Each structure stands twice: as structure tokens, then as C-alpha cells.
Amino acid sequence: MTQTRTVETLLEQLTLEEQVSLLSGADFWRTVAVERLNIPQLKVSDGPAGVRGGGPLVGGKKTAAFPVGIALGSTWNVELLREIGQHLAREAKDKGAAVLLAPTMNLFRSTLNGRNFESYSEDPFLTGKLGVAYVQGLQERGVAATVKHFVGNESEYQRNTISSDIPERALRELYLVPFEMTVKEGKTLAVMSAYNKLNGIFASENKRLLTDILRTEWGFNGLVMSDWFGSHSAGESVRAGLDLEMPGPARARASLLEEAQNDEATREAVKTAARNVLNLLVRTGVLDSPLDVRDENERDEEYADTRELIRRAGAESIVLLKNEGDLLPFPAGAKVAVIGPNGAKGQVMGGGSAQMNAHRQVSPLEGLQAALAEEQVTYHIGCYNDKFLPIFAGGFNIEYRALGGEEVLAREHRPLGEIMWFELPAGIPRAFQATLTTTLNITEAGTYELSLASAGLTRLHVNGEAVVNNWEDFRQGDTYFGFGSDEVRGEIHLTEGEHQVLIEYRTADVPHGFGMSAVRFGFRKPLPETSVQEAAQLASEADYAVVCIGTNGEWETEGVDRWGLELPGRQDELVREVAKANPNTIVVLQTGGPVLMPWLADVPAVLQAWFPGQEAGFAITDVLLGQAEPGGRLPQTFPARLEDDPTHPETPDLQYPGENGHVEYQEGLFIGYRHVDRHSLTPLFPFGHGLSYTTFEIGSVQVSTEEVQPGETVNVTVEVRNTGQRRGQTVLQLYVHDVETSLERPEKELKAFQKVTLDAGESQTVTLPIDMRSFAYFDDTRDAWVADAGEFHLLIGQSSANLTVQLSVTLASEWVQSVRNA
């Protein structure tokens, strides 16, 4: 940036109207340019598991799809997250974006949060460390991170209006910690405010949150933007510390210029916010070297290193939950039956704003076929697990009209059976009607299911016959971020040949969310009742049965919470029947969070594979065949039953999902493994759990001092040895237990960890540092972090339930760090 083109110089040259213009987006993904002063647009893009660019949520330009957040959380690998951030920066620049809306720093308070798959962990320390690495990797390659959603967005129920009522200690010790770490350690350049209220005040206009804590206490000097359509005021939000309203054009801030003209405090706040926008342009290099914000490159083949990274990260995220008799890995010469609804589908991502048009979606079937001879691999779907009917594979020819009009204003072809109209053809108003036509080519006569889900009113006709009516009886449901209808289904008998489909659409007269318009056409032929038995029979003819079950991005999605913990459809039945037919049954489970496993005792091996990105089938195959280690360790407790979740009493109430506009975090500090310890529960699988294809032994452990002085850092050195026959990975985990606390605290808290990769017989000494905050709790009566004098236990092992080493240290005197004048 030249001497004559400093931020302060530009700020003085900007008129008040121009300053105000910088504080709301120009469109969905770009900020406003000020051509008079050569201030360019800044483009942002959704993450966190890829870079979609400026395209729609479905379709659009292809891009690399990385493992989702919970998968990356299960790697416990800080350096891997940094490497992924570096690659995402390259992807962002290819899409003309200098800001990525990622990473997601919210915690797993509840197993039923629909967006858990985007986050890393139930533990704030693990979440923070991984987030810091992601931010650093992204930003060292010139793309700004935007940590989100600040703060208290731990469920999707009424997220746009609900107040997350969080006790101060829980807020400080759990929910703020990952954000604090990404600000102080990661130096994130941007923060996104949450949709929800925090203790009665919208996060996007919460001065205590955005100014007092974020800027004054933590020293943040970057940009704060709203979540999309998540701002609710003009001058008030700017004075509270919200710099940028997204998307544009200005909506909540339509009156901001008038307010600023009439109020000095608002004018000063506008100037400060404009400074933050300009600083972000400078820090991303965009001010002097603008990116082509229209650039939507689809680079794939030339980025072989990214494909390799996604495959490697996907394998390292897979958690080996069970491996009786060392069934895995199985030999390459085996005959394998791939069974289940996720077998021939690449379930690579969750739903909502995190989804993208991946370069490819490799299924487990494709992965195994590529690794083995094709004749060694057979397949049967067994059952369905879709929440909705599959999207029609063809596209639509569309004619647009004004509401009530006859004249066709525009025509276009859309290649997919689902459309979200974020952008309309030129001249088409936001309120419109359309007819969508397509052809069904039926090769087998029979009964078929058809469905519509829409943000707007829809009717479906086949050959002139009405099949689905989502018009007169339109009801808002769970689709399209909670602003579309539920899916409405119909059935029709179709003969072989071509059949004409007509869908009528019009924007609804009732509010249906952010002006969103969308339609989804589902279509399929039902499976026969005997399909599960047919799958089991096929499995009986193979050496190994790989049952690929779980969920998909319809179940695990933004805008609606998870359905429960039971697997949908006939999947539990399918596992049981296959296990009866073949004793070498391996379950590959792909979900965005915990599920119940009533068949666990019936199968010898279970892999938790999450949604591991576009190379999913290759990563899963690598682990099944032992070409890669199952490197994952659970970042979330898997409860034995829903009632063991800390936020789920027998009936829904104020604690979850909330009542009368409030959700109370009544469990306080006790989520995840903290809740397990407090109530002496036995989870299905504990936090930090994961098996290896080899074995590890913890050797000598030493602490740098047994008498700790206030302000001192304690270093714990741990020797670990690979006692098995092959190379493998483990995670050393260190938890702190306060023996003599003056306030109630969790039984133990994760405060250090290290991923270790060792060859057979190799040993390594690892250093785990423990600082004062690791010993401290937050005293809300003193507004301070406090570590009591006295004894602490340091618990070391390979999961929260497998802590084989205990050391004792003593803090010589009380340590206090006030936040009042931080």
C-alpha cells in the first residue's frame, strides 16, 4: 500500500455516504466498491469444508470438498488442519474470494444440533487448538478467516430469534474459549456474529460481546460481519461493534445514513467500522491487488496435491470403534460384498450453507472396485436412508412470468432437479411465478414415488394428471433453512416410455424466509419388501461384508436439528440380517454425530467414517485394506441412549430445544465427557476413544516442577512406544483435575494433547505444556480467571476413559487474572 493510499487517508477522503455504503454488502457475496477512490469489491465465500465461490448451494462451479468439521476434529492433528487451511486459501483465490466464512467454533452442547458436523468437538480446548491451526494456515496464504458463529449457536431450533441464556461461567469456560483462542493465538482477521440472541440481546448488536469482550478484553482489531440476514438494526448494531451487514444491498441498515447524519456517536461508529472494512482490504492484499471477483475456476487435475491431502485427511479422520479378533484390515485378495444405502453413494458432506458441488463424490463401492478386481466386489443397497426422495437426475426448462401474468418474461434451462433462486434472470422480480417442465424416461413399468418440497407454492402434474399438491395446503416445514415446506409425496403407476412432468411454482403470499425461492423434485421406484433379505443373501456369498450405513446431508444440515439418535429406515435391521449371514461383517458408519448401535454386539468391526470429503470411498478403502491407519479419535462422546445427553430430559423443555423464545443452558459447565463424569455414566464410546491397527504403551512420565509458582508454565514429558507390528498413530491426552477447588468444577478437563505417529518398535518423547489458564476456573463474582492454591492431578492416557498415568503438582499460591481491564 503506497504512502499516499493509507487507510486513514482513504477514510478522510470518503464521504459519510460512502463510509456507510461500505458497511453493507453489494450483493450476496461482495462488498461495495467505491470507484471514485479505486476501492475494489471484496468477495467472501462459504466454507468451512471447501470454497463454493459465488455460486448457488446446489449446482454451481465445481470445487474441492474437504472432510467436514467433526471429521477434522477426530484427527486431533493440528498440523493437518494448518495444511488444510493452506490449500483452502488457494481454492478461495481460484474463486476470486479473499475471505472464507470459516471455521465454525461452536461446541457440541447437544447431540441433536443439526450443524454439529460443521464444528470440531464438544471440548473447547480441542476446538480452539484445531481452529487456530486452520486460521493460521488460511491466513498465511493471504485469505482471511471468519470464525463463526459468535456465540451461543449450539442448536438450529428457532436460531434466528431464540435467546441462548448461558451462565457466565459456562460462557467463559466453554463457549467463548475457542473464539478467544482463534483471536489471541490464531490472529483471525474476521469474526461472524451468530443469529441468536445471547442472554436476551441479539449477538449482532451485543456491545458486551462485540466490543467489551472481543475488542477490549481480547484485543481483536479485525472485522465483524453479520451472519447472512442476521442483522436487525442500523445505528444500534454499528455502535455495538458490528462492522458489516451481509448480504447486500442494505436491509437492516437502510436507514443508517440518516441516523449517522443526525447523531455524532453513530457517525463515529460508522467511521470506525469503515476503517475495519478498509483494513481487511489491506490485510488480504485486495486494496492494491484486486482479485477477479467473478473468477470461478474449477481446477482439479492440476491440484493433485489437494486430492491427496483430502484422501489422507479423510483416512486419518476415520475412527476404529471396534475390531474384534483383528478382523481389520482385510486382505486385498478377499471377495467383498458392499451392502447398504451409503455403499454406492459418496456421502462426502453435510447440508445447508456448507454444501458445494464437489469435483467428485467417491463411494465406498467405487473405492473398493478401484483397489480390488471388479469381480471381487458385489453390491446391494438393502434399504434406503434418505430423508427425502432422491433429487430427480434431470433438469428443467423454465418459463418465468409475473404474478398473475400470462406473458413469458424469460426462459432458461436448469440442469438439476433442485433449484434455489438466489439469482433470477434479468428482469424477473423477486415475486414471480414459473412453469418447470421435464421428461421422465421410464425403463421399467411400475409404481413410482414423486415429491415436492419448496420455498413457495408448487403443484406437480404427470401427463396432465395432478400427483402432488403443495399449493393450497402449503405449510412451512424444515426445508430450506426452516423456511420451506416439508416434503409432500405422491405415487403414480408409470408404463415404459416417456412421461411429461409439469411443475407450477409461485412465490408464496406468506413470509417464507429472506425472500428465498426454491423447489425440489424428488423421484424414485420403491424397493421391494424383500430387499434386506436379498442383501443378506448376497453378503453370505462373500468373504467379508462391508455394510455402509448412516445418514446424509438431508439429515445433518443447517436450519433444522437432528431427528434423534436412531438410524433412519431399516438400517438397523439390515446390519442384523447381514451379520447373521456373514460373521465377517464390518460396519462403515457415516454420520455427522453419534447414533445408537443396537447391533454393536453382533458385529466384529465398526468404523466411524463421518463425511470425509470428495475422496471418501478411497479414504475408507485405504483404511479397510490397511493402506492407511484409522487415525481418528472421537471428538464427541457417543451416549448409550438419548437420555444420557446432558440437554435431554424426558420431555422437551426450556433446556432443549427451548420455550417462549429462550433456551437455558441449565447444564452449565457439564457437557460431553464432563457430564459423563458428573453422573457416572457409561457411554457407548467415550470422548477421545479410537483403536489402532497396532498397540501403544506409555512409558516414563516427568513433570518440570512439582511445586508450581503463579504464572509458571509446567512441561510434562511423556514417552510413548509403538509395541505392535506396524506403523500407527495415537493421541496422547492430558486432563487436569482440581483436587482442592473452592467452586464446583468438572472432574477433569482436557488441557493438552499430541498426535503421535510411530513405526513398529519406535518410541518418542512428547512434551505437553500446561499454563496457568489450564489450572483456572472463571470466578464470575470477581470477573477473573482464578487458579486456587493447592493440589492438582495431571491425568494422562489415550482417551477420557483410559487415563493410565497420574501425576500431582501443587500451586504454591493463588493465581488471578482479571478481565475487567484486560
The CATH number of the domain where 258 resides is what?
A: 3.20.20.300
Q: What percent of the chain has pLDDT over 70?
A: 98
| Contact (CB, 8 A) for 532 and 569 | no
pLDDT at residue number 327: 98
* pLDDT at position 3 over 60: no
Q: Which of 524, 549, 578 is the endpoint of a domain?
A: 524
| Contact (CB, 8 A) for 559 and 481 | yes
Please choose, from the candidates 234, 68, 93, 243, the residue with its C-alpha nearest in 3D space to the C-alpha of residue 613: 68
What's the mean pLDDT in 595-602?
98
- One domain for residues 175 and 99: yes
pLDDT at residue number 509: 66
Parallel, antiparallel, or unpaired: how do β-strands 497-506 and 457-462 relate? antiparallel
Decide if 691 is inside a domain: no
Of 227, 243, 561, 622, catalytic: 227
pLDDT at residue number 512: 37
Decide if 664 is inside a domain: no
Strands (E), 207-359: 223-225, 319-323, 336-339, 357-358
| Contact (CB, 8 A) for 737 and 745 | no
CA distance 35 to 424: 26
- DSSP bridge partners of 14: none
| Contact (CB, 8 A) for 602 and 576 | yes
pLDDT tens by residue, 431-480: 999 999 999 999 999 999 999 999 999 999 999 999 999 998 888 888 88
- Using DSSP, state whether 114 is helix, strand or coil: coil
Q: How far is Cα of residue 454 from the mean position of the Cα atoms in its chain?
A: 24
Q: Which of 492, 524, 556 is the endpoint of a domain?
A: 524
* pLDDT at position 646 over 70: yes
pLDDT at residue number 263: 97
Instruction: Assign 294 a pLDDT band (cuts: 50, 70, 90).
Output: confident
Decide if 728 is inside a domain: yes
Parallel, antiparallel, or unpaired: how do β-strands 190-193 and 144-150 relate? parallel
- One domain for residues 207 and 332: no
Instruction: Assign 822 a pLDDT band (cuts: 50, 70, 90).
Output: low
Of 81-90, 310-319, 510-519, 749-758, the poorest mean pLDDT is in: 510-519
* pLDDT at position 770 over 80: yes
- DSSP bridge partners of 523: 450
What's the mean pLDDT in 615-630?
98
* pLDDT at position 603 over 50: yes
- The CA-atom distances, in angstroms, between 361 and each of 319, 346, 618 are 20, 5, 10
pLDDT at residue number 511: 45
What's the mean pLDDT in 639-663?
91
| Contact (CB, 8 A) for 451 and 489 | yes
Mean pLDDT of the chain: 95
| Contact (CB, 8 A) for 645 and 639 | yes
pLDDT tens by residue, 662-709: 999 999 999 999 999 999 999 999 999 999 999 999 999 999 999 999
CA angle (335 as vertex; 329, 340 as ends), nearest 5: 80
* pLDDT at position 513 over 50: no
Decide if 140 is inside a domain: yes
The CATH number of the domain where 337 resides is what?
A: 3.40.50.1700
Q: What percent of the chain has pLDDT over 90?
A: 91
- One domain for residues 190 and 50: yes
* pLDDT at position 324 over 50: yes
What's the mean pLDDT in 572-580?
98
Please choose, from the candidates 489, 499, 404, the residue with its C-alpha nearest in 3D space to the C-alpha of residue 446: 499
CA distance 150 to 183: 12
What's the mean pLDDT in 643-657?
87
* pLDDT at position 167 over 50: yes
Backbone angles phi, psi at 716, to 5 degrees: -110, 120
Q: What is the dihedral of CA 15, 17, 19, 20, to 10 degrees?
A: 170
- One domain for residues 599 and 565: yes
Say which residue the cell 400427483 belongs to.
467
- 473 belongs to the catalytic site: no
Decide if 557 is inside a domain: yes
Q: What is the dihedral of CA 322, 325, 327, 333, to 10 degrees?
A: 170
pLDDT at residue number 4: 58
* DSSP string over 489-508: EEEEEE-SEEEEEEEEEE--
pLDDT at residue number 651: 72
- One domain for residues 513 and 549: no
Q: How many domains does the chain have?
A: 4
- One domain for residues 221 and 236: yes
- One domain for residues 456 and 345: no
| Contact (CB, 8 A) for 708 and 714 | yes
CA distance 51 to 94: 9
Q: Which of 220, 250, 283 is the endpoint of a domain?
A: 283
- One domain for residues 336 and 417: no
Residue 97 sits in which domain range? 23-283
Decide if 288 is inside a domain: no
- DSSP bridge partners of 812: none
State which amino acid sits at residue 432: F
Decide if 63 is inside a domain: yes
* pLDDT at position 170 over 50: yes
Instruction: Assign 295 a pLDDT band (cuts: 50, 70, 90).
Output: confident
pLDDT at residue number 648: 82
- One domain for residues 760 and 614: no
pTM (2 d.p.): 0.94
pLDDT tens by residue, 483-511: 899 999 999 999 999 999 999 999 986 44
pLDDT at residue number 299: 86
pLDDT at residue number 478: 83
- One domain for residues 454 and 342: no
- One domain for residues 254 and 315: no
In this structure, how many other beta carbons lie within 10 angstroms of the beta carbon of residue 713? 12
Decide if 12 is inside a domain: no
* pLDDT at position 1 over 60: no
The CATH number of the domain where 515 resides is what?
A: 2.60.120.260
- One domain for residues 36 and 148: yes
What's the mean pLDDT in 212-227?
98
Q: Give the three cell numbers for residue 779.
A: 470466578
The CATH number of the domain where 732 resides is what?
A: 2.60.40.10
